[in-house]
Chain A
Amino acid sequence: MYRYDEIDARIVRERVEQFRDQTRRFLAGELSEDEFRPLRLMNGLYIQRLAPMLRVAVPYGHLSSRQLRKLAEIARKYDKGYGHFTTRQNLQYNWPALEDVPEILSELAEVEMHAIQTSGNCVRNTTTDAFAGVAADEIIDPRPYCEIIRQWSTLHPEFAFLPRKFKIAVSGSEQDRAATWVHDIGLHVVKTDAGEVGFKVIVGGGLGRTPMIGEVIRDFLPTAHLLTYLDAVLRVYNRYGRRDNKYKARIKILVKAMTREAFAAKVEEEWIHLKDGPATLRAADVEHYASFFTDPAYETLEANPAEFTAKLAEDKAFARWVERNTRGHKQAGYRSVVLSLKKTGVPPGDATDAQMDAVADWADQFGFGEIRVSHEQNLVLPDVRERDLFDLWQLAKAAGFATPNVGLLTDIICCPGGDFCSLANAKSIPVAEAIQQRFDDFDYLHDIGDIELNMSGCMNACGHHHIGHIGILGVDKSGEEWYQVTLGGSQGSGASIGKVIGPSFARAQMPDVIEKILSVYVDTRTEEERFLDTVRRIGIIPFKERVYAKHN
């Protein structure tokens, strides 16, 4: 993984000192609320319903065991002993005191971490596939490019005050696991038949109040031009994006208003002036960054060793966990393990300090000291020997991390909602819990199979509800909390926005509603058809009819 050199470390330290001074001036009354707000947001500090929230950047979801231990320590020392992993692969603390934030940042800096640009109208943390570098279907490892983009976007002097926040996601595999189609910029690393590496550039995707799937503005951008092209896109957005209405300020609105063709042409026009400039990446530059992401010292192992297959055969629960919570690896004899943060009764994405410490230990013991955060809000141990899986499973079970539900109904993506967030229309965590409680039968869940249920407490869509196969959105009906349901959304290749099935429901109805939706699937599915495929084949009407049918 990437390691700071002296200059990276110095820049982060200087940022900590700058923020320390800004906080001091705010507390001394030298900066007004209005002046301090954009400054603190640019450092990931929100004021929520009950307390501040601090969002720490986990660059493209990569953590070392040392960093994770530090996150645990901070949770213990400055928070209530837990943190929340987010859909953009970051970590949030829900209870830090404003006065402590500079100290927290200073501790983070010790382990090469920060909260720079984790909020505010600037370029946010770049995200990618949680299985980058280890996925069996990977074409090109996206991480060197993520790091190049991270550095380019960090404290970029021209783009600190954009019309609105700006999110970039990079994918390097056949299957897109980074939701690139719903980001402001989505990049697919591609390789031409001639072996040249570059990017397909997607612009103008996004969720929130006006959900949109992005548009391809360039089929192939050679690697050398990555940064100058990004500069051109951002400059066009910075200059022409709307600033009069924050709901119309995202780049997606500009792309729509200009049309894809006109927007692409404007970018090209700007790019002509920047192309081949000093920010052009030479092969040696890319190699420098790639050198941080070489394979760890994998052992030469046979796939499916006997002790592993024997355990699979004799222990059904273990086999189920392996099936759901581990993934194929490019290296024979290894698998990637997903530690589920979706245990019933625990807010999705939350982990305690003790859990974080445990994961850090396992990363050292079973892997190469690396952990990933997935945008589904789970933790990933990327490299575990198959022969160690049984031991790891037992430890994970004891620590509450082995719920075998990855990719199943109860692996819910969920925002903090009304329990924490001041923008919420409705709570989301209790709804997730009620659904998890209703569907606690693993045989049933496994029979239902792959399904994504995403929930947001308001139309800001932090829980990605639009791209859930089932989406739940908290709405406000004359001061009461109601929930709207969408079907047919999806992330990844062929991304789509879900369709609303009808009037919203009271909270208590939600488990029944989900049950009815699933019953339509069970009744109509063809063999091998996933939930999403059925929805796509039969449309939302049959679901609607069942859900809204009057009882006789």
Chain B
Amino acid sequence: MQNIIKDGAVLAADAWQLVRPDAEGQLSVPDAGDVIVPLSAWLAEPERWASRDGRVAVWLASGDEPAELAASLGKLELVAVDFHAFTDGRGYSIGRLLRERYGFAGELRAIGDVWEDHLHYLWQVGFNAFEIKDGKAVEGALAALGSFTDRYQATYREPQPLFRRHRS
């Protein structure tokens, strides 16, 4: 059972299958159903994905360049960003770039080492869906989205920084 939170609620079911390369770097993509494939595969074989049955989404690793996906974003319902370790914060910048620079409006899902203590930040930079790591409580994660009721910075969720909203 996947633990997916989307737009502040736990999803009862989620059709997306995440496709990660195996130990040899090979991808085995199921013939049918909805899949999330790595950026490299998406860029390498456009015809394959266009003709496939089922929806296709893309996931980015933390070192990937979101600009490479910019041209495809209009076609994608979902983009995922992988946090291979929660301490690798590159995905936060990727999230903002996808939303703010490239205008992605679909589902932006955080995958990998994702659990409650980072969700409020992830939400602020534009993620609206979180695949909670195995073994981590989903209820706690839901609650953690509301850890902070305000913030100082200009973010994707609140483009006006605090000093513009409440001060001077």
Contacts and interface: CB of A to CB of B under 8 A. Distances in A.
B97 to A, nearest CB: 8
A161 B92 contact: yes
A152 B90 contact: no
A308 B168 CA distance: 43
A408 interface: no
Best-surrounded residue of B122, B154, B155, B160 (most CB of chain A within 10 A): B154
A30 B161 CA distance: 35
B148 A284 contact: no
B20 interface: no
B152 A278 contact: no
Best-surrounded residue of B94, B144, B153, B166 (most CB of chain A within 10 A): B153
A148 B162 CA distance: 11
Nearest to B167: A288
Contacts of A64: none
A39 B117 contact: yes
Nearest to B164: A278
A238 B120 CA distance: 19
Nearest to B100: A273
B167 A279 contact: no
A279 B121 contact: no
Contact of B166 (A7, A14, A158, A160): A7
A11 interface: yes
A238 B92 contact: yes
A512 interface: no
A157 B117 contact: no
Contacts of B96: 158
B24 interface: no
B164 A161 contact: no
A151 B93 contact: no
Nearest to A39: B117
Contacts of A151: 152, 162-163
A7 B149 CA distance: 9
A80 interface: no
A551 B121 CA distance: 64
B89 interface: yes
A156 B153 contact: yes
Contact of A288 (B137, B153, B168): B168
Contacts of B117: 18, 22, 39
B90 A238 contact: yes
B87 interface: yes
Nearest to A37: B87
Interface string A14-57: 11011000100000001000010011000000000000000000
A288 B121 contact: no
A238 B124 CA distance: 17
A243 B62 CA distance: 11
Given A157-B92, A161-B87, A161-B88, A152 B148 contact: no
Given A160-B121, A285-B167, A279 B161 contact: yes
A285 B152 CA distance: 13
Contacts of B33: none
A159 interface: yes
Contacts of A14: 147-149
A238 B94 CA distance: 10
B86 A161 contact: yes
B150 A7 contact: yes
A331 interface: no
A239 B90 CA distance: 5
Interface string A276-287: 011101101101
Given A162-B89, A278-B161, A157 B124 contact: yes
Interface of B: 86-90, 92-94, 96, 101, 117-118, 120-122, 124-125, 137, 144, 147-155, 159-164, 166-168
Given A157-B155, A285-B164, 8 more contacts: A5-B166, A14-B149, A121-B89, A161-B86, A273-B101, A279-B154, A285-B168, A288-B168
22 contacts: A7-B150, A10-B149, A11-B148, A11-B150, A148-B163, A151-B152, A156-B153, A157-B120, A158-B92, A158-B93, A160-B89, A160-B118, A238-B90, A238-B93, A239-B93, A243-B90, A279-B153, A279-B161, A285-B168, A287-B168, A288-B168, A289-B163
